[in-house]
Amino acid sequence: MINIDNFYNCEKKLTDKDLNACEKKLGITIPDSLRQLYLNCNGGMVYKDIWKTTVPPYKLQISIFIPIKYNKDFRNDPDFLIEGTASKFWDNENLPKELLPFALDYSNGFLCININTGAIYQYLRLEWDDTLNTEQNFKKNSIYLSDSLENFLNTLTYDEEQDKEETFEYEDIKPRASNKFYDSEQAINTADLNEVEKLLKIKIPVQLRQFLLQHNGGMPENNTWLDPEGEFEEVAIHELIPIKYYKKFNNNKNYLMPSKAENLWGRKLLPETFLPFAIDAGGNYFCIDINNGKIYYYTLDTWSDNLSLTDNQDMNTRFLCNSFNEFISKLVCEDDLDDLYGS
């Protein structure tokens, strides 16, 4: 029997009619074990989220179960439901049609149930090898985990290392007083900033303007923002975006702040009041609102063609703090986090 008390943050409850509609759209019969689970727990997360084995992958951690219907965070966008996820990967021949994805793990894999046998697999969806054919890729990327959903769920456990981490508080991490800046580009002047403002038809907020005159691109020693409420994971600056000059890319203007802003604004991927000044390793941006100077983290990896422009922008925007100086002063060094957690 599946322990449904392990689940939390589930979506609105489903009915048999909802499940029948999903089966009809996908042209499958949902295995009874998964059907019974989703009548009780529609998506959500689990407290015990670790699967351990004696063979590779040895340990995986579940991120989230994919809802069959309803997804409040993504405004019920089908791309973030089982139906849309399965259809997309089956149609593109990136997932075997006998595997139905029902959860995501933290290594960008799917957790899937075989609709014919009920067995559970991890599917490495980003590990495609162009030297192999489709069938060979499917075989290579499908990792058997358990003979049934019930056995899989009931064998989940807590992450002992995560439990150790949770004994530490973010308050234990302080910004380094040195806060050096590395690999900055050639210094710019007031005339350079005036030229950018004229080109973009904006006024760069004063605090950012003063900062850019001291640091044009590069990387700060204190590079990581911690959510003071602990609701979100930390986000780290990969590099500050130069205004002018970029020796690594032979001063290619496409990598500079003015061109990045024009490109993102023109493609409606970024609100036109957001000026990107830094980027993370995943291609998401740290932005300043040119109207009020507030700082935001703006993601591009969850954009959906099924949502309106406004809904996409709202969904991808995370408020960080009220001013640029506050943002810089509260950054901490990523290495200190690694040291604290024993990485």
Residue 108: pLDDT above 90?
A: no
Quick one: average pLDDT of 108-125?
A: 94
The pTM of this model reads 0.58
Give per-residue pLDDT as tens, 261-279: 999 999 988 999 999 999 9
pLDDT at 33: 95
Query: Is pLDDT above 50 for 166?
Result: no
Q: What is the pLDDT of residue 342?
A: 53
What is the tally of helices (H) and strands (E) in the chain?
12, 17
**What is the pLDDT at residue 287?**
97
Q: Tokens at residue 109, please?
A: 């894999």
pLDDT value, residue 295: 96
H/E element, 289 = strand 285-289
- Rounded mean pLDDT, 222-232: 83
pLDDT band at 167 (very low <50, low <70, confident <90, very high): very low
Looking at the chain, the whole-number percentage of residues with pLDDT higher than 90 is 66
What is residue 255's predicted lDDT score, i.e. its pLDDT? 86
Domain definitions of the chain by residue range: 4-160, 168-341
Q: Quote the CA–CA distance of 152 and 125 in Å, as a whole number.
A: 20
Name residue, tokens 């529609």: 42
**Would you state the pLDDT for residue 65?**
96
Equal CATH topology for 4-160 and 168-341: yes
Q: By the 8 A CB rule, do 44 and 10 touch?
A: yes
Looking at residue 163, its pLDDT comes to 46
Determine the 3-state secondary structure of 263 from DSSP: helix
The residue-averaged pLDDT of 175-194 equals 92
Query: What architecture does CATH give domain 4-160?
Result: 3-Layer(aba) Sandwich (3.40)
In this prediction, residue 170 carries a pLDDT of 58
Could you identify the residue written with the tokens 């599917």? Answer: 123
Nearest of 294, 259, 278 to residue 286 by alpha carbon: 278
pLDDT tens readout for residues 57-72 = 678 999 999 999 998 8
> Amino acid identity of 182?
Y
Q: Which CATH number fits domain 168-341: 3.40.50.2020, 3.50.50.60, 1.10.340.30, 3.40.1580.10?
A: 3.40.1580.10
CB 28 within 8 A of CB 19: no
pLDDT of residue 339: 65
pLDDT the model gives residue 160:
60
**8 Å CB contact between 243 and 216:** yes
